[in-house]
Structure 1
Amino acid sequence: MSSGSLLDLAKSRQPADRERLLLAIADLCDAPHAGDVMKSGAIQALLSSIFMSLVVEAERDIRRRLSEKLAEADWAPNALVNVLALDDIEIARPIIAGSPVLKDLDLVRLLVEATIEHQIEVARRPNLSQAVVGAILEQAEPAVLTALAGNPTADLSQADMEELVEAARQIAALRTPLSQHPRLTGQLAKRLYLWVGLALRQGLADRFRLDVAILDEALAASINEGHYDIVAVPASEAQPRTARDGEREAMERRLIDKLHAAGQLRPGYLIRALREGRLGLFAAALAVLGRFDQSHVQATIDSDRPELLALACAAVGIDRSVFPDILEMTRKLNDGRPGGGSEGAAKAQVAFAPVTPEVAGAAFRQAARSLSAA
């Protein structure tokens, strides 16, 4: 079809003509030197002016075909590619998987705004950068973490691998892809060995030449400790007993300090701690991440002012869309506190106003001091 015909179709407001225009442009993708043609100023201006309205009005089948045609095109308009990436997952999948137009910021936005299915496709995208990997780890969504673990081309650092292996303690689906991951080290394999089934243990032992006898002893000790919830003591004094609250808090604080010193303590860890039912770990991590007084964090959690918890979360980089889940999990673990009901939850959203984390942190400290003094 000639450029004149394309322009005629572009001027038409008839639905059939507008769909014919989309199909014609899609067919041009298969033409020789299509990229050179599409990068010309006139065509780019045409695409920018008509594509958005055309795609919104087009039938699903046409949007899917367009997505497949544009998946590898480096000349496709950025706005169009991002619209297709947010479309139904069957339409979005080719774009998310391969479009060179999608940049790190676009992929991170998908992780925040799109469905779990879209997020999984982001995690599977070849050659993910450190920035996108970090965003996935911060959100700590099990299905998305599992997709990331199964992506051998993602730019995972050693610290990222350690975080995934640690998550495998609670997320069983992570264990198989991690056991086969090319960046798994012998040291991490020893940790993973303690949490996987018999078949995977054998595979890890063969791959890394692990000393199975020693690891099986460690596995038995771990099971025993988990069963009795005991605190480690010398073998001569060992006996099942429940860890006292002070001892548990000290252990949790040591874990948080260790993660922080290694640069592995991130906002996503807060969500993980709550999902594991470890409210004390959540409070300790929030205090360290925000450089808050831990007594202020605890007083906030026990108060009837969820907006203060929202301020603390905003100060450490938690997104507005994630906070309702944090509040719900905190209340479930803390006898309904912080209180305030649905009205308090709605009020808490105001804490995520467009201010810097530093301002949110300062506001939290001031309010928390007043709360503690009351």
Structure 2
Amino acid sequence: MSTIVPPEPTTIAQAVPLSGLNQLLDLTRNRSPDDQRRLLLGVAGLYESARAHGGAPDALADIFIALTRSAEREIRQALAQRLAKVEWAPAALVRMLAADEIEIARPVIAASPLLLDDDLLQVLADCSIEHQIQVALRPNIGAAVARSIIAGADPAVMTALATNRSAHMDAATFSSLVDHSRQLAALRAPLTRHPSLDEDLALRLYQWVGEALRQAISDRFTLDPARLAEAVQTAAQAGAGRAAAVEWGTASSAPPAEDHDARLVAKLHAAGQLRPAYLIRALREEKLSVFAHGLATLGRFEVAQVHRALAGDTARPLFLACTAVGLDRAAFPAILAEIRKLNKGFPRDPDASAWRLAERSADQAAYEFRLLMADADGASV
């Protein structure tokens, strides 16, 4: 098989007339990946050279995009790495790469100067959670992008935004992010260090963080002792109310019956008999503790995390945990109803739809569950 050798970028414009560039698409068919890669990078060199000498024709941009679309995954990934920080590439090509699978899209989303806020908003609307996380991490994203992330209310994406200190957020957007940290513990640690945190928001955050983060807030701000005392009292009252709602949620020492349930689940797991269907059976037999230990074991979660989900003010974490272990999302309303019968109406779901999330892979659901159930001081997951 002959090898395609692309002409030098400085001479290819004369060697291949634009009227014949469409033939390049035919040349890629039945060629080895190495040939395809060399041809595509040759066209990239041509496009860069043309832009440097007065501008590239639209037809050349169309060929560049068409060749990229038909290229294999590894070739698209190499091209994305090359184009991640350049200003000469076709903007439509960069947008296409940003919507490709995440390993290809990541370097482009992270750094391309050709992606504008409108493009990033389109990625947030159309692409996967992994793409959205990368948008949230992108340096200097605009206020409209940050607002869209908060409106989406995805735990993992909001956590990424909280760690992005260069993101532009207006006061209302940042205040909303602080409010979300009441339920999403993973937000708390990055928010205590965020440059947009002011004294008023710090006092609000102070109410629901753990002792280590309270100390960090106190070290950063000179807070009025009276206002601190009021914040502590408010937090204590809220905590007492939640603690009274369930009797067994996060106790450090399990009662004897729960020890028995933990041993039963461990035995089933060791024998290869612990399956998602068994969790439903446990609920039908009114064995909530067995369900909790089984869910923790199948999902490789901490039992305390599952207990906190069962005692929550929203069913979203429980839905994510069930998704992570392979329970059918269509079965979740029935699962939730059974759990509430056994658990004094918890987890609550004030708007009756907070758990109704878009499709997640098992791995993504598990990651988001751990974010939501991170400890009060924002330990990593």
TM range, smaller chain: 0.5 to 0.7
Query: What CA deviation, in whole Å up to 9, does each residue of 1:6-37 have, x standing for no partner?
Result: 657456243345432212234568x7x77424
- 1:247-262, aligned counterparts within 5 Å? none
Give the Cα separation in 1 of the matches to 2:154 and 2:231.
Answer: 29
Q: CA RMSD in A?
A: 3.5
The alpha carbon displacement at 1:45 in A equals: 1.9
Residue 27 of structure 2 corresponds to which residue in structure 1? 12
Residue 355 of structure 1 corresponds to which residue in structure 2? none
Whether 2:73 is the aligned partner of 1:60: answer yes
The alpha carbon displacement at 1:48 in A equals: 1.3
Do the aligned partners of 1:85 and 1:95 also contact (CA within 8 Å) in 2? yes
The alpha carbon displacement at 1:217 in A equals: 5.4
Give the Cα separation in 2 of the matches to 1:152 and 1:50.
Answer: 36
Instruction: Pick from 314, 331, 339 the counterpart of residue 277 of structure 1.
Output: 314
Instruction: Give the letter aligned to residue 68 of structure 2.
Output: V
Query: What CA deviation, in whole Å up to 9, does each residue of 1:215-243 have, x standing for no partner?
Result: 2553244233342379xxxxxxxxx99xx
Instruction: Pick from 116, 126, 129 the counterpart of residue 116 of structure 1.
Output: 129
Change (3 A) 1:38 1:28: farther
Question: Percent identity, aligned pairs only?
Answer: 44
Residue 39 of structure 2 corresponds to which residue in structure 1? 21
- Greater CA deviation, 127-136 or 214-223? 214-223
Give the Cα separation in 2 of the matches to 1:180 and 1:13.
Answer: 52
Residue 62 of structure 2 corresponds to which residue in structure 1? 48
The alpha carbon displacement at 1:119 in A equals: 0.1
Change (3 A) 1:73 1:229: closer
Change (3 A) 1:82 1:121: same
Give the Cα separation in 2 of the matches to 1:219 and 1:97.
Answer: 40
Whether 2:179 is the aligned partner of 1:166: answer yes
Instruction: Pick from 101, 104, 107 the counterpart of residue 114 of structure 2.
Output: 101
Give the Cα separation in 2 of the matches to 1:26 and 1:139.
Answer: 36
Residue 208 of structure 1 corresponds to which residue in structure 2? 221
Instruction: Give the letter aligned to residue 124 of structure 1.
Output: L
Stretches of structure 2 lacking an aligned partner (at least 5 in a row): 1-7, 246-311, 316-328, 339-381
Instruction: Give the letter aligned to residue 52 of structure 2.
Output: D
Q: Secondary structure at the match of 1:106?
A: helix
The alpha carbon displacement at 1:4 in A equals: 4.7
Instruction: Give the letter aligned to residue 170 of structure 2.
Output: S
Instruction: Give the letter aligned to residue 81 of structure 1.
Output: V
Give the Cα separation in 1 of the matches to 2:75 and 2:193.
Answer: 39
Do the aligned partners of 1:26 and 1:65 also contact (CA within 8 Å) in 2? no
Whether 2:159 is the aligned partner of 1:141: answer no
Instruction: Give the letter aligned to residue 58 of structure 1.
Output: A
Q: Which has the higher contact order (CA 8 A, sep 6+)?
A: 2
Whether 2:13 is the aligned partner of 1:3: answer yes
Do the aligned partners of 1:67 and 1:92 also contact (CA within 8 Å) in 2? yes
* Aligned length in residues: 245
The alpha carbon displacement at 1:154 in A equals: 1.2
The alpha carbon displacement at 1:180 in A equals: 0.6
Give the Cα separation in 2 of the matches to 1:138 and 1:328.
Answer: 27
Give the 4+ runs in structure 1 shifted more than 6 A.
Answer: 327-335
Whether 2:38 is the aligned partner of 1:39: answer no
Instruction: Pick from 207, 224, 231 the counterpart of residue 218 of structure 1.
Output: 231
Do the aligned partners of 1:10 and 1:18 also contact (CA within 8 Å) in 2? no
Change (3 A) 1:142 1:208: same
Whether 2:209 is the aligned partner of 1:196: answer yes
The alpha carbon displacement at 1:59 in A equals: 2.1
Query: What CA deviation, in whole Å up to 9, does each residue of 1:105-159 have, x standing for no partner?
Result: 2111111111111000111111111211111111111111111111111111111
The alpha carbon displacement at 1:66 in A equals: 0.7
Q: TM-score, normalised by structure 1?
A: 0.56
Residue 153 of structure 1 corresponds to which residue in structure 2? 166
Instruction: Give the letter aligned to residue 56 of structure 2.
Output: S
Change (3 A) 1:276 1:331: farther
The alpha carbon displacement at 1:3 in A equals: 3.0
Give the Cα separation in 1 of the matches to 2:54 and 2:62.
Answer: 11
Change (3 A) 1:34 1:170: farther
Stretches of structure 1 lacking an aligned partner (at least 5 in a row): 231-239, 242-274, 279-324, 336-374
Instruction: Pick from 85, 102, 123 the counterpart of residue 72 of structure 1.
Output: 85
The alpha carbon displacement at 1:199 in A equals: 1.9
- 1:204-353, aligned counterparts within 5 Å? 204-211=217-224, 215-216=228-229, 218-228=231-241, 276-277=313-314
Do the aligned partners of 2:44 and 2:64 also contact (CA within 8 Å) in 1? no
Change (3 A) 1:119 1:329: farther
Give the Cα separation in 2 of the matches to 1:65 and 1:38.
Answer: 27
